[in-house]
Structure 1
């Protein structure tokens, strides 16, 4: 469904690289996870697939194919945006218009993509709210976002994303602002819709433990660079190849352990610039670095030369 080769996103006036040499292939019907700390470039990668990165950011790639269509510019993005690939944004409260009712926003979107009458769009809107398991959908159409809970607003965002019948759905940390019980309900709803509609889902999260449960493959991003690509079975079997992935997994507390302190990766994500063209971006925070890592980037597809599993 998606093939990207050597994608790079950078600031046009500063020595600031946001994504560097990203290459990936996503298969039809797959749940493809993207994991990493905040600031790793996960959301930018998703927005790049929709053509939503604008100046002063410059986007370059050798090849981008979405649903068998070669993407070469904004004209091509307009043909696939919404119709082929749709996105659930991080914060539903901020993404919905606070001065428009839920119904107005749904109906407007449905009429734009389906070229139907307002009455027909209203029927589709009610059906979508039922699909995302919102009770009394006819009444909810009259509600404003501020009248609904965070979980309800997220369900409305999912309905909006599905209103154009896309083949690919990007879920950008859809449970971040929700309590743990509501998170579970939203995840189960997405998995149910994915199976019913045979959707290809790109699920973005900083929670490696969650992705291990739901994703078929997981791309690990750090400071805009690929660290490695893993299947969920490889993570479960501890077949991790990069120290950063190991550190991410180690940062997740375990219920059956009571350590004196919770592990966290020391330091902060550094600004990716041209000085990291030929060295490992994770070098300064890595506890298993070697002198060679400073001089040459490890290949994330092979076992990182400085990594010895514990």
Structure 2
């Protein structure tokens, strides 16, 4: 077991998207505290992706450097394929390596399905899902080439999903679809990346940030002073996932609620029922059969073949 204060990331280089604010800022600081060189990617845009005059990446880099760490900023847009390719290439050129990526960038444009516009749908899917894939793709290209050249690879991909992506939420069709897609992308990346030394895992933080304002998540901390919704709560998990030590774990979604980590299982197959007389299912049976297996009707209805 690691000792308190042990640095897990000495010599490793990590890219964090959306690393200038909120959860991303906490990740960047935690990674640097464990000895990582951190590339802080952040456009400085508003919650909806609108332009602003802020440069949060600079502030995070300055904070890391003030504590003796090494960090640089990047302001490329994660939806820009060429910019993300350059982000990976420039990181490797400057530091000689890339060891982990944290896909954290995101925006919100909440609306019910009947009010959601094509533009808003595309914007949210672009930043969350395309942005996650773009960095994953270019980082994996680098790691695969390193592996084929015979050099050791311990690549780590840490993606970010949410409760909405796992269970849905009214008014968040685009956000939820993107986050669900990220969870599934993680599973596929884990399967493919294992061939060349790369793991892929996904976190689902419970946290109060500017993106959760007005959702009821931003609640006061516990009476003992521990804040269940502090954005920094998930960052130790990210630091461990970015380390070589986590190499045994891949293809998992971890829900982080306060100081507790819950592994989340993917879609699972429940008990079902078979056609009463064999052969194809009968549409007329479906109502009674599904009511029984889903627990909305008493078991034991005549003629149903329930399969555990």
TM-score of the superposed pair, with normalisation by structure 2: 0.30
Per chain length, whose mean CA-contact separation is higher, i.e. which structure has more relative contact order (CA < 8 Å, sep 6+)? 1
Whichever structure has more strand as a proportion of its residues is 1
**Larger Rg over CA atoms:** 2
TM-score of the superposed pair, with normalisation by structure 1: 0.30
